[in-house]
A and B are shown apart, each in its own frame.
Chain A
Amino acid sequence: MGPLIPNDIISHEWNYIIAILIGIAFGYILEASGFSSSRKLAGVFYGYDFVVLKVFFTAALVSIIGILYMDYLGYLDFNLLYIHPTYLWGAIIGGIIMGLGFVSGGFCPGTSLCGVAIGKIDAWVFVGGILIGIFFFSEFYTLFEPLYNGSFDGYVTLMDSFGVDPYWFVFGFTILAIVSFYIADLVRKRVKKVFYN
């Protein structure tokens, strides 16, 4: 049956409309749960707030478990889902740069736009930085191109590249998540509390 759009149960024209609706809902929930504060994100790195880690880890788990159950029951064809292509070194270096941006700016690209929407000055500066970065990258694209398009590994998932049974992988991932939540809580209790809005 699913996925709904590739199987033409919902026509392709709805793609963007649905994307906008989901985007609005996502932004609303980010803002409502306080993610538009840069201190919340920075808290993961300083150890006084692990909500971001917990939320995104849990979201990933809920979706992968849900997808696997639906795939098993035949509601969803796992093989038709879009898998983001892997450019290994580009991802590693990009990840490091993005992580630095996370710590120093206290936003991820999504939450920074939430911050912009509610008028946070640091978010405005952050988005300005993103735009400058995009400009810089585009202007020097020929320089970055071998890194950007190099070491292409195809549309692989962790399960493919490790050759693990997806069910066992998800089970291990769940245990890992719960252990990391527990450790995060221990760390949070030891670190001095920071109060912010």
Chain B
Amino acid sequence: MINRKLAKVLSFRYKILALVFIVLAGGLVLLPKYEKHEGIKPEKLLGNAMSSERYISSDELAHKIINQDPSFLLIDVRDEESYSKYSLPNSVNIPLEKLLEEDSESYLNQDGFDVILFSNDNFYSDQAWLLCNRLEYKNLRVLEGGINTWFTTVIKPVEPTENQPASDFELYSFRKAASMYFGVAYPDQTKADPPPKKKAPKKIVPVKKKKKLPVEGGC
């Protein structure tokens, strides 16, 4: 038996479908708009900011440089003038105001290297770290204390006093060795060149050449 009511409704099926379409599409137009948050989520940013991985100490960095670790990229976020005066070896200069330019992106937004940001202290490098993090760049780290700490620890380490623990002395000797690697000279480490030895005149010993004996017999 044909359900007449259903048949009656179904005769309008195309109109109903068209109406559904219009309602759905119209719904899209009427939806309240909101600003989408692009980039990293706040919770993740906070997690990254609190992570101990965020900083790298100057000792760790010195260790990496001395061992010629190829896995990191040093980014100097100070201005060009300071960069030209002094910077860490093999660092790339991307001043903070140029951080978001297109040329900088290839250095910062990559998976191949750890990016180590530094400035005089970690004030500007932290800002750079935050900006890059919001853009979801990966493997970012900040040199703890920046170049100032680099100087007081690696370049010019303070000698521990006698009542300090042995580990401090070990650290000091590491830092001292590191500073020597980076070109600091210590008076107690320099060796005076030994006086040049006099060259003894060569004795000439005549060597008698054996005379070839005439071949005797043979088979």
Q: Complex formed: what's the CA distance from A167 to B26 in Å?
A: 8
Contact status B29-A167, CB under 8 Å: yes
Who on chain B is nearest to A178 by CB? B18
A167 touches B21 (CB 8 A): no
Min CB distance B135 to A, Å, is 14
Q: Decide: A174 and B22 in contact? CB cutoff 8 A.
A: yes
Q: Which residue of B lies closest to A165 (CB)?
A: B29
CA A181 to CA B14, docked complex, whole Å: 10
- Segment touching B, from A25-33, A39-47, A64-72, A123-131: A64-72
Inter-chain CA distance A177–B24, complex, in Å, is 14
Which A residues lie within 8 Å of B25 (CB)?
A: 61, 65, 170-171, 173-175
Interface size on B, residues (CB 8 A): 10
- Measured CB to CB, the nearest residue on chain B to A68 is B28
Q: Is the CB of A72 within 8 A of B31?
A: yes
Q: Chain B nearest CB: distance from A35 CB in Å?
A: 20
Chain A residues contacting B28 (CB-CB under 8 Å) are: 65, 68-69, 72, 167, 170-171
Q: Are B24 and A65 in contact (CB under 8 A)?
A: yes
**Interface membership of A168, Cβ < 8 A:** yes
CA distance in complex: A11, B24 (Å): 33
Q: Give bound CA distance, A171 to B30, whole Å.
A: 10
Residues of A contacting B14 in the complex (Cβ-Cβ under 8 angstroms) = 181
Shortest distance between the CB of A65 and any CB in chain B (Å): 5
Determine if A174 and B21 form an interchain contact, defined as CB atoms under 8 angstroms apart.
yes
Which residues of chain B from 10 to 29 have any CB-CB distance to chain A below 8 Å in the complex?
Answer: 14, 18, 21-22, 24-26, 28-29
Chain A residues 152 to 192 lying within 8 A of chain B, measured CB to CB, are 167-168, 170-171, 173-175, 177-178, 181
Which residues of the partner chain B approach A72 to less than 8 Å between Cβ atoms?
Answer: 28, 31
Shortest C-beta distance, A159 to chain B (Å), equals: 12
Compute how far the CA of A170 lies from the CA of B22 in the bound complex, rounded to whole angstroms.
10
- Kindly report which residue of chain B lies nearest to residue A72, judged by CB atoms: B31
Which residue of chain A is the closest to B14 with respect to CB atoms? A181
Which of A173, A174, A175, A177 has the most CB atoms of chain B within a 10 A radius of its CB?
A174
Inter-subunit contact A171/B18 (CB<8 Å)? no
A174 to B26, CA, bound (A): 9
* Distance of A106 Cα from B70 Cα, bound (Å): 61
Q: Mark B22-45, 1 if CB is under 8 A from A, else 0.
A: 101110110100000000000000
**Assuming A65-B24, A65-B25, is B31 touching A167 (CB within 8 A)?**
yes
Given A65-B28, A167-B28, A178-B18, 10 further pairs, Cβ under 8 A: A61-B21, A65-B24, A68-B28, A72-B28, A171-B26, A171-B29, A173-B25, A174-B22, A174-B25, A181-B14
